[in-house]
Amino acid sequence: MAEYPDENPSVFLRDDSFAAYCYDRLTVKELKSAFNRDPDPDDCIRWNLSPLEWKENVEMALISLSPKRSEKSK
């Protein structure tokens, strides 16, 4: 992502990933709440993720939904 700062981070999400699922279905508020709690064991089983991978996918979806850094500085 650092190599392509003008791209929306969502272009880096695999279409079949848990991160893309979260990006498409959850709000920023819901993602922040999810990130600040323990990983959901049902999601981990359903998506075949370790707790760390679950957290990384939630974080990636959150980053993708957050406003671009360049827009914040304007």
Domain residues of the chain, as ranges?
14-67
Q: Is 37 helix (H, G, I), strand (E, B) or coil?
A: coil
Rounded CA separation 38/12 (Å): 25
| pTM of the predicted structure, to 2 decimals | 0.76
Residues 7-30: pLDDT tens digits? 555 555 667 899 999 999 999 999
Residues 43-53: pLDDT tens digits? 999 999 999 99
Identify the pLDDT of residue 8: 58
Cα–Cα nearest to 61, from 25, 7, 23 = 23
Confidence of residue 60 (pLDDT cuts 50, 70, 90): confident
**DSSP letters along the chain, please?**
-TT-TTS-GGGGS-TTSHHHHHHHH--HHHHHHHHTSPPPHHHHHHHT--HHHHHHHHHHHHHHHSPPHHHHT-
